[in-house]
Amino acid sequence: MYREIYPQVYEVNILDAKDEELIRISEEMGLALNLEEMKKIKVYFAKKGRNPTDIELQSIAQAWSEHCCYKSSKCYLREFLFGIERDYVISAIKEDAGVVEFDENYAYVVALESHNHPSAIEPYGGAATGIGGILRDVLCMGAQPIALVDPLFFGNLDVKELPKGVKHPLYLLYGVVAGIRDYGNRVGIPTVGGMVFFDESYITNCLVNVGCVGIVRKDRIVHSRVGNVGDIFVLVGGATGRDGIHGVTFASKELSEKSEEERGAVQLGNPIMKEPLIHACLEVVEKGLITGMKDLGGGGLSCVISEMSYASNCGAEVYLDKVHLKEEGMAPWEIYISESQERMMLTVRPEHVDDVLDVFKKWDVPAVVVGKAIEEKVVRVYWRGKKIYELDLDFLLGAVEYCRPYRVRRVERIDETSKPSDFKSVLIKMLEHPNVASKEWIVRQYDHEVRACTILKPLQGRINRETHGDCAVLKPTDSWRGLAITTDVNPWMTKIDPFWGTASSFDEMIRNLIAVNSIPHSFADCLNFGNPEKPERMGDFVQCVRALGWMARGFGLPCVSGNVSFYNETPYGCVAPTPTLMGIGIVEDVRRVVSSNFKGKGEIVLVGETLKEFGGSLFCKVTGQKSTVVPKTSPKRLKKYANAMLQAFKEFKVYSCHDLAEGGLAIALAEMCIGNCGCRVDLSCLKGEDYVKLFSESNTRWLVEVENGEDFVKFMRERGVSAYLVGEVGGDEIVIKDVLRVSVDEVERAWRRGLAKFTG
Query: What is the separation of C-alpha 60 from the centre of its chain, rounded to a whole number of angstroms?
Result: 27
- The H-or-E segment that residue 500 falls in is helix 498-515
The helix/strand/coil state of 108 is: strand
Q: Is 164 exposed, middle or buried (CB count within 10 Å of its CB: 0-12, 13-18, 19+)?
A: exposed
Residues 481 and 590: their CA atoms lie apart, in Å, by 6
115 catalytic per annotation: yes
Looking at 67, 246, 352, 448, which residue is catalytic? 67
Residue type for position 82: F
Could you give the C-alpha distances from 514 to 613, 654, 715, in angstroms and in order?
22, 13, 17
The residues, ordered by sequence, that sit 6+ positions from 329 with a Cβ below 8 Å of its Cβ are none
Q: Are 463 and 441 in contact (CB under 8 A)?
A: no
CA distance 46 to 36: 15
The H or E element that residue 286 is part of is helix 271-286
CA distance 7 to 53: 12
- How many whole angstroms separate alpha carbon 457 and alpha carbon 469? 8
Q: What gap in Å lies between CA 102 and CA 108, rounded to an integer? A: 6
Q: Where does residue 87 rank: exposed (0-12), middle (13-18), buried (19+ CB within 10 A)?
A: exposed
- Helix pair angle (54-63, 300-311), 10° resolution: 70
Query: Alpha helix (H) ranges present in 287-400?
Result: 300-311, 332-337, 353-362, 393-398
67 as an active site residue: the answer is: yes
CA distance 262 to 256: 10
List, in order, residues 6 or more apart from 495 with CB less than 8 Å away. Answer: 199, 201, 501, 576, 577, 616
Q: Which residues pair with 382 in a beta bridge?
A: 319, 387
Cα dihedral 97/98/100/106 (nearest 10): 10
**Signed CA dihedral, 231, 137, 524, 203: sign only:** positive
The pairing of strands 2-6 and 98-101 is unpaired
Q: Where are the alpha helices (DSSP H) in 664-743?
A: 664-673, 690-695, 709-718
Question: Among all residues, which ones are annotated catalytic?
Answer: 67, 115
